[in-house]
Amino acid sequence: MAIPVMPLTLVSSLERRLVTSVAEARSPFTGSSQIQDWGASWWEYEIEMAVSQGGQARGLSAFFTALGGVRGRFLFPDPTIDIPLTAGTPYAAETQLPGASLLRTAGWDQGLRAGDFFQLGAESSTRLYQVIEDAVPVLGEATLSFVPPLRNALPQGTPLGLERPSVLLRLKAPVPTVVGRVDKHRFTLSAREAL
């Protein structure tokens, strides 16, 4: 069964953050900290939808209801992500192991800049990554430095998704339909990357 894609026409605003599994133990006497980094990280989103009415509102309500709260997953092609022009058709130039945050790639016309995003995988294996340093290709090859680290092994030849990078999300709680005067519907949702 295909993973549903969230309707984007009504996204009013969003907050995106990379959450890391880091714990801090601070001494009450010296103020020094001991940091424990467990190495995991994931994307979290707070999304506010524009006020809608009629069929559009009912359709959006049906989309969220069909997810079944935290049970369902959906793809979210983040509308705030700029699509790089004439980037080429980049792919992984070598196999990479889980935990890697550097990736040698090939097939570039033009590289990516710090802050750009790319996607690896499709459907239930979709993952979103952000480049943290400019990657300028030399003879069509570039090394990407990115977050979060890879969760799974990445085979050589895997294409990088640049056209409409998406993230696979799961709701943190069911989305309420807030109905105001004159059939005006409001939706606000919290979601985290579905891992």
Per-residue pLDDT tens digits for 15-65 = 999 998 877 888 888 888 888 777 789 999 999 998 888 888 888 899 999
- Helices marked H in the chain: 54-67
Alpha-carbon distances of 167 from 137, 141, 150, 193, rounded to whole Å: 26, 25, 14, 7
> Could you count the other beta carbons within 10 Å of the beta carbon of residue 129?
23
Per-residue pLDDT tens digits for 109-132 = 888 999 999 999 999 999 999 999
pTM listed for this prediction: 0.87
Alpha-carbon distances of 70 from 82, 174, 181, rounded to whole Å: 29, 7, 29
Q: Is the pLDDT of residue 159 over 70?
A: yes
Largest pairwise CA distance in the chain:
60
